[in-house]
Structure 1
């Protein structure tokens, strides 16, 4: 048995200047972001990842390879060692997606979405676990500050690569899609985002509505409806972080998903006053880090097993 997880760690910036030119990250300029708060952030995120205890985890909003290495070292201090790691590094964006793994990579590959910094690249990894191949794709799609056409752009790049790999393979798509597992239903009311005639990246491009050999199954459907969330916006629970699997992982042969194992990490310390206890930054004209909190997202995880022939 092994566990796969995804976690948006909310702005894990290192202490270097790279990426600060993007105004939305002004709170992490060197004059505001210091060694003390960086250390606390690393310790807090490491605590969460240790409680997840996944064999393979993808992270979103990691600033750099240096930040990933520092997190990996902090985890090692706490008894959780990830020998293998990879981060997107082909585009000078402020934040990236990354993998930490206890299993070696057969290869990793970065999928370019567009040349614009507004789109984050997708990270592909192939692993071989007990003789079984597994393909993972780490995602961080455009936030709801942008229209659905931007998320569809990422979805199409992902879909095209999956078609090259082969729909029949063991494939897991995971990460922060900034899309609900039933985005196509909620989307009807979101006129500001609807520039695609009701079509969504997660449901229509990745084909999660109807099941067929070329479609993906969203594991949130395997959880109780009240537990299907990883984010809270204005008091409403949302499932922005998803784990989607190819049809082969539903068959009890080779690698397969363990039924009812999808869940978020809902430890009490991750909440404050019915809200997710995100990293605390004051809203003053000059933002101040309070050195408290974790992330604005909850981790999501699922278990898989190797079936002997």
Structure 2
């Protein structure tokens, strides 16, 4: 006999790379957003933009719903252009009942895409946030612009948590050529975590909730769980990767040349395996790869239904599936 999701207080934390959520306005301060205008390379019309908002909002509304019976409490996003697209997103009919607000900072990414955090104001109460500027250099010793990491501190269902939303450097110039960049981002992220958790409380599973240092790292890492940036850069330092086991030959969060990857992951501090009164604890993780997000015919059947393939408009959701974790309260 299955247990009803209403038997526990449960909350979903999700991450979704939404594939170039741009508005239709050419922002002179953004270097490469002119492609996403009506007369730009992508022929990004008002109708296409509104269709994208509708689809992304529909996907978000269903992440974790089968497990909890409600919309996600917290959703990290990647590839959003600005605050306008976030305002438009949370005003979609599918998301209105969640009482979402968001946290967003403009980052130095040359494409003008950032990370952000949506949160249900009834469940998550932010107390502090900041963008973490990542310092990378190219071979000429010049600043190599990449997305900031978004750090948000707050209380999730009354439990103090530290959330980091990531979108690490891509593999566009080759896996080996860009590997060190992602390893360096992991190092800088860990440096910030160590500064906020000097006493290493993220390792401990028996602290009262007000003394704990529950940390959740979510994002598109452009690396798989077995790659150095994750396996060696973060996991040995008080973290577990409950999404790692979701990747196999037939499943992942994105597909490249008919090979599945799991670039989208959720890492949690060991403290989130606990039996402390009134504290959240980790229950399970999954990929939200529902059939509605998939291509349903042709040689790419089963892969994410993308908005674009190159310059060809397909009208789908995203080239990534969302991932999520369900937390219960003791």
TM-score range, shorter chain: 0.7 to 0.9
Structure 2 counterpart of 1:172 = 216
Q: Structure 1's 159 and 151: CA in aligned 2 closer, same or farther, altered over 3 A?
A: same
Hey, what's the Cα distance between the residues in 2 that align with 1:90 and 1:231? 24
Match of 1:47 among 58, 82, 89: 58
Structure 1 counterpart of 2:281 = 256
Hey, what's the Cα distance between the residues in 2 that align with 1:136 and 1:227? 30
- Higher mean alpha-carbon deviation, 159-168 vs 4-13, is at 159-168
Hey, what's the Cα distance between the residues in 2 that align with 1:245 and 1:78? 26
Structure 1 counterpart of 2:167 = 140
Verify: 1:58 aligned to 2:76, yes or no: yes
Alignment of 1:13-92 (within 5 A): 13-18=22-27, 21-22=31-32, 27-31=35-39, 32-52=43-63, 53-74=71-92, 76=93, 78-91=95-108
Q: CA deviation at 1:26?
A: 6.0
Q: CA deviation at 1:274?
A: 2.6
Q: Is the 8 A contact 2:109 2:147 kept in 1?
A: no
Deviations 1:14-35 (CA, angstroms, capped at 9, x unpaired): 122236533xx66414412111
TM-score by length of 2: 0.77
Q: CA deviation at 1:232?
A: 0.9
TM-score by length of 1: 0.82
Structure 2 counterpart of 1:197 = none
Verify: 1:297 aligned to 2:320, yes or no: yes
Alignment of 1:1-309 (within 5 A): 1-18=10-27, 21-22=31-32, 27-31=35-39, 32-52=43-63, 53-74=71-92, 76=93, 78-91=95-108, 93=110, 94-102=112-120, 103-114=124-135, 116=143, 118-146=145-173, 147-166=178-197, 167-168=200-201, 169-183=213-227, 200-206=228-234, 208=235, 210=236, 214-221=237-244, 223=246, 225=248, 229-253=252-276, 254-258=279-283, 261-272=284-295, 273-281=301-309, 283=310, 287=311, 289-290=313-314, 292-307=315-330
Secondary structure of the 1:127 match is: strand
- Structure 1 stretches lacking a partner, 5+ long: 184-199
Q: CA deviation at 1:151?
A: 0.9
Q: Is the 8 A contact 1:91 1:117 kept in 2?
A: no
- Structure 2 stretches lacking a partner, 5+ long: 1-9, 64-70, 137-142, 202-212, 296-300
Q: Structure 1's 35 and 297: CA in aligned 2 closer, same or farther, altered over 3 A?
A: same
Q: CA deviation at 1:215?
A: 2.6
Structure 1 counterpart of 2:4 = none
Deviations 1:27-82 (CA, angstroms, capped at 9, x unpaired): 414412111111111111111111112110000000111111111111x4554434
Q: Is the 8 A contact 1:2 1:305 kept in 2?
A: yes
RMSD: 2.2
Q: Is the 8 A contact 1:118 1:142 kept in 2?
A: no
Q: Is the 8 A contact 1:20 1:29 kept in 2?
A: no
Secondary structure of the 2:16 match is: strand
Q: Structure 1's 222 and 275: CA in aligned 2 closer, same or farther, altered over 3 A?
A: closer
Hey, what's the Cα distance between the residues in 1 that align with 2:272 and 2:94? 34
